[in-house]
Amino acid sequence: MKGFISEKELLNLWEKKLSSIRDEESFNLYIDNPFCVQQCAYCKHTGSLKRDYEDDFSKYYEEILPAQIKIFSSLLKKKIPDTVYFGGGTPSAMSFSQMKNVFSSIPNFKKIKKKAFECNPNLLNKEKIKLLIENNFTYVSFGIQSLDKDVLDYNRRDNYEKIPLKDYIGKFEKEGVRVNCDLMAFIGEYKDNPSIEIKRVEKDIVGLVKTYRPSMITIYPESGFLREDKIRGAYLSRKLREMILKLDKKHNFGHQDEFLLSLNKDDILRGMEICYHLGVSLSSEELRETKKYDSSGPPNQSPVQNCLALGGFKHHRPWSYHGRDFVYHNLNEENTGFSYFITGEKEKKRPVFTNMDFI
């Protein structure tokens, strides 16, 4: 099966799928947030720049996305998703009232057990934080990338001088919402110099651990840079792993898989672009549990699952999955509504929205 499919046919396929879902399969919901307030130099998931698309932004959250949620609401009433993930782009670019309306338009929203929201901390405020807590979100991921102002400037990203970042993280954690902070390695001006760049990442990790206390930290190496020169990439990856192992002795982090920190040459070459999840207040077991559920779709390594993706605008074309049987993506070029394109059976491609290897 390949090509465009009508909404009606798609709904029928989902109805059939959900009525015969097996115990070991999960049903997950992904909501795409295809706008950003800045375009960071290193990013592969960048959304359309909000200031260039102000009208489209409002129309998307106030008409287009709610209308699509309504079309699929019969499915969401029949089967409560196991998880929901708000990814992007930048979900926190929504206003408080847009967030409130989107949450309340999803049937049984409060009953969805695991809920995740990606945040740019600079776009949060007390009201939005309260709303996420009241709606029983279980996980928020802060795109920190670095605490170093020069590195943020170099990547055209705002720094965190104007917000009470520690207070934001503390508010969530106090209410039992797990906070993850993303950091990026190899994005500084001197990214090929480990004595500067690895030191900077180490300082960021220690700063988060000592001052901000999120439940977990995820370190993403900038994969495009590592791929440019595999020998240099492997050398820098080794240095990054050595630094994490050194910090481990002191902070006793939880790990998703110890193997990912192997210093064996072949293991490094094979896993140069993986990200490193560090449990700050989570043991390895708790970390694995937190990261067990998933809205990112199969492919090979993930458990068989079903993911209904809603939303998308221009180049953001989120993928939906029916187990390993087929995948399709949403197209919304002109912000007038969606068409759906099935890409062929057993598609191996990762979704464009990723950054969600956790949920």
Number of residues counted as binding ligand SF4 (CB under 6 A): 13
* Residue 317 sits in the site that holds ligand SF4 (CB under 6 A): no
Residues with Cβ within 8 Å of 292's Cβ and at least 6 positions away in sequence, in order, are none
* Residue 141 sits in the site that holds ligand SF4 (CB under 6 A): no
Both structure tokens of 212: 């901000």
- Give the nearer residue to ligand SF4 in terms of CB position, either 158 or 257: 158
Contact status, residue 204 vs residue 160, Cβ threshold 8 Å = no
Residue among 43, 69, 152, 201 that touches ligand SF4 (CB under 6 A): 43
Task: State in angstroms the smallest separation of the CB of 123 from ligand SF4.
Answer: 9
CA distance 256 to 15: 35
3-class secondary structure per residue, the chain: CCEEECHHHHHHHHHHHHHCCCCCCEEEEEEEECEECCCCCCCCCCCEEHHHCHHHHHHHHHHHHHHHHHHCHHHHHHCCCCEEEEEECCHHHCCHHHHHHHHHHCCCHHHCCEEEEEECHHHCCHHHHHHHHHCCCCEEEEEEECCCHHHHHHCCCCCCCCCCHHHHHHHHHHCCCEEEEEEEECCCCCCCCHHHHHHHHHHHHHHHHHHHCCCEEEEEECHHHHHHCHHHHHHHHHHHHHHHHHHHHHHCCEECCHHHHCCCHHHHHHCCCCCEEEECCCCHHHHHHHCCCCCCCCCCCCCCEEEEEECCECCECCEEEECCCEEEEEECCCCCCCEEEEEEECCCCCCCCCCCCCC
Residue among 34, 47, 188, 312 that touches ligand SF4 (CB under 6 A): 47
- Give the nearer residue to ligand SF4 in terms of CB position, either 39 or 264: 39
Task: State in angstroms the smallest separation of the CB of 36 from ligand SF4.
Answer: 3
- Give the nearer residue to ligand SF4 in terms of CB position, either 88 or 194: 88
Segment contacting ligand SF4 (CB under 6 A): 35-43, 199-207, 240-248, 280-288?
Answer: 35-43
* Residue 6 sits in the site that holds ligand SF4 (CB under 6 A): no
Q: Which of 85, 93, 88 is nearest to 53 (CA)?
A: 93
- Give the nearer residue to ligand SF4 in terms of CB position, either 88 or 233: 88
Residue among 17, 45, 128, 191 that touches ligand SF4 (CB under 6 A): 45
* Residue 120 sits in the site that holds ligand SF4 (CB under 6 A): yes
- Give the nearer residue to ligand SF4 in terms of CB position, either 39 or 336: 39
Task: State in angstroms the smallest separation of the CB of 173 from ligand SF4.
Answer: 22
Segment contacting ligand SF4 (CB under 6 A): 9-17, 32-40, 230-238, 314-322?
Answer: 32-40
Task: State in angstroms the smallest separation of the CB of 193 from ligand SF4.
Answer: 23
Both structure tokens of 125: 């405020």
Segment contacting ligand SF4 (CB under 6 A): 42-50, 198-206, 223-231, 266-274?
Answer: 42-50
Interacting residues with ligand SF4 between 62 and 101 (CB under 6 A) = 88-90
- Give the nearer residue to ligand SF4 in terms of CB position, either 45 or 317: 45
Segment contacting ligand SF4 (CB under 6 A): 44-52, 130-138, 170-178, 254-262?
Answer: 44-52
Task: State in angstroms the smallest separation of the CB of 148 from ligand SF4.
Answer: 16
* Residue 36 sits in the site that holds ligand SF4 (CB under 6 A): yes
Residues found near ligand SF4 in the complex (CB under 6 A): 36, 38-40, 43, 45-47, 88-90, 120, 143
